[in-house]
Chains A and B, each alone.
Chain A
């Protein structure tokens, strides 16, 4: 199996790429849980004025009827007015696009942003919706029957890994 890229390097590269588009109305939102970890790195690197927002999309999922609520829904916390902001929406892995769809829906219940750009640590194939990332740290080919996920160790270190799809 091909070795996976280093997460810290990907974050540094993404931060350099994003620095060019940061303006006075830029704000960042991370999607629980992995996206929030990545957003934490990027937010610190970019030194954004607005505090980092966190989004739990549990109440906006489209598979609620089949899956029920997530085991442990977190509270969404957006500590700034979304209205008129240029949002950087951050997730760890872009796969089907359904999480991003749910996140965009939720964001619009907070207000009308001026724009939303999708930033992901890694993208893979398997899109089920017409959604693409404006900034992707890496494009990764995932072997059949596997899933790509972001893992955090006890020291807060992040790494990408393949796990068997449930």
Chain B
């Protein structure tokens, strides 16, 4: 049997490439470790010396503000040195291959590569070619996975709902293009969430979604009923080719989250969104800024979760 590329020979986290395929104990350890780091971020000096002398290379072949920034803050709070490379506008543009870029950075003594790439699987390719002391963290690859976002979503859900055992989670919108949705679904099923629903128009739900262990709903009325957690996805205009949708207005009318539709979910439901939000498309301001929204706490939790992941891959935990 081929070894899980994310784990070392002792079954410890070596790279974080996808939530899929990670045992429950590892996911739980990440969330618990993040919990202790959350304490650090509440102090005056929000820094611990754990990764002193280590170098983290943020390698973003695709644009990002929030994810790149929170990785940078997380690394700095662990006392690592952070180097941000906006590769989208540098070497690749000049024709350098992904592996050559990585080999060059490795020659500059890297310890962690945080990789975002438009092609699904790119971080796996990098992980196969790095030296044993180097670690790869997937910060989003194509439509495939965005594990740290999935983990911070799980952290947020656990923070507000305490237990995964009896939850109904509804994921709404453009599931087809969403690596966030895929990562979260794998996490939720690993933790045994009994009911995970995806809601969206047929054109934006991947064929075979049911095989992931989710219930597919095409109406908000059906999908939101009794939900404890509602995860809104961004309508990814930049990844859409062809006529998947008549218009953003049409989408808003049927699947945009309004206070009225949210009333279908449980009274204490939380609303999440990975950002960036298209207000007035997938989510109305009344909901985004309303009492059910935990969208900004998600961002804060993301720092602690990324600190946990970085310290665990380096520490072989």
Partner of A73, one of B12, B32, B47, B49: B32
In the complex, chain A residues whose CB is within 8 Å of the CB of B316? 68
Contacts A68-B12, A73-B36, A75-B39 given; does A59 touch B45 at CB 8 Å? no
Decide yes or no: A105 and B32 within 8 Å by CB, A59-B40, A110-B43 being known contacts.
Answer: no
The contact string, 1 if C-beta is below 8 Å from chain B, for chain A 57-74, is 011100011011100111
Q: Measured between C-beta atoms, what is the minimum distance from A139 to chain B in Å?
A: 32
Is A51 part of the contact surface with B, judged by Cβ < 8 Å?
Answer: no
Interface size on A, residues (CB 8 A): 20
B315 CB within 8 Å of chain A: yes
B273-317 with Cβ < 8 A to chain A? 311-312, 315-317
Specify which chain A residues have a CB less than 8 angstroms from the CB of B315 in the assembled complex.
64-65, 67-69
Q: Which of B24-40 contact A (CB under 8 A)?
A: 32-33, 35-40
In the complex, which residues 63-105 of chain A have their Cβ closer than 8 Å to any Cβ of chain B? Answer: 64-65, 67-69, 72-77, 105
List, in ascending order, chain A residues with CB within 8 A of B50's CB.
59-60, 64
Is B12 in contact with A109, judged by CB distance below 8 angstroms? no
Task: Point out the residue from B36, B44, B317 that lies within 8 Å of A56, measured CB to CB.
Answer: B36
> If A68-B315, A69-B315, A110-B43 touch, does A60 touch B33 (CB 8 Å cutoff)?
no
CB distance from B99 to the nearest CB of A (A): 28
Q: Are B49 and A69 in contact (CB under 8 A)?
A: no
B77 CB, nearest partner CB in chain A, Å: 10
Q: Does B48 contact A (CB under 8 A)?
A: yes
A36 to chain B, nearest CB (A): 15
Q: With an 8 A cutoff between CB atoms, is A111 at the interface?
A: yes
Interface residues of B, count at CB 8 A: 21
- Minimum Cβ distance to chain A for residue B11 (Å): 13
Which one of A59, A72, A75, A110 lies within 8 Å of B49 (CB-CB)? A59
Partner of A109, one of B38, B48, B317: B48
Q: A59-B50, A75-B35 are in contact. Are A69 and B44 (CB under 8 A)?
A: no
**B39 x A77 contact (CB < 8 A):** yes
Distance, CA A64 to CA B317, complexed state (A): 10
How far is B315's CA from A60's CA once the two chains are assembled, in angstroms? 13
Q: Which of A56, A75, A77, A105 has the most CB of B within 10 A?
A: A75
Chain A residues, CB < 8 A from B317: 68-69
Residues 42-91 of B at the A interface (beta carbon under 8 Å): 43-45, 47-50
A105 touches B312 (CB 8 A): no
Which chain A positions have C-beta within 8 A of B43?
109-110
> Within the complex, what minimum Cβ distance (angstroms) separates B47 from chain A?
7
By the criterion CB–CB under 8 Å, are A74 and B36 in contact?
A: yes
Q: How far is the CA of A106 from the CA of B311 in the complex (A)?
A: 17
Report the minimal beta-carbon distance from B122 to chain A, rounded to whole angstroms. Answer: 27
CB distance from A69 to the nearest CB of B (A): 4
B133 smallest CB distance to A (angstroms): 10
Q: Are B48 and A111 in contact (CB under 8 A)?
A: no
Q: Closest approach, in angstroms, between the C-beta of B31 and any C-beta of chain A?
A: 12
Query: Taking the nearest CB of chain B, how far is it from the CB of A103, in angstroms?
Result: 13
Partner pick for B48 among A59, A67, A68, A77, CB 8 A cutoff? A59
20 of the cross-chain contacts (CB-CB < 8 Å) are A56-B36, A59-B36, A59-B311, A60-B50, A64-B50, A67-B315, A68-B316, A69-B33, A69-B317, A73-B32, A73-B33, A73-B36, A75-B35, A75-B39, A76-B36, A76-B39, A106-B48, A109-B45, A110-B45, A111-B44
Given contacts A59-B311, A60-B50, A76-B40, 12 further A-B contacts (CB under 8 A): A59-B49, A59-B50, A60-B49, A64-B50, A64-B315, A65-B315, A69-B312, A73-B33, A75-B38, A76-B36, A76-B39, A109-B43
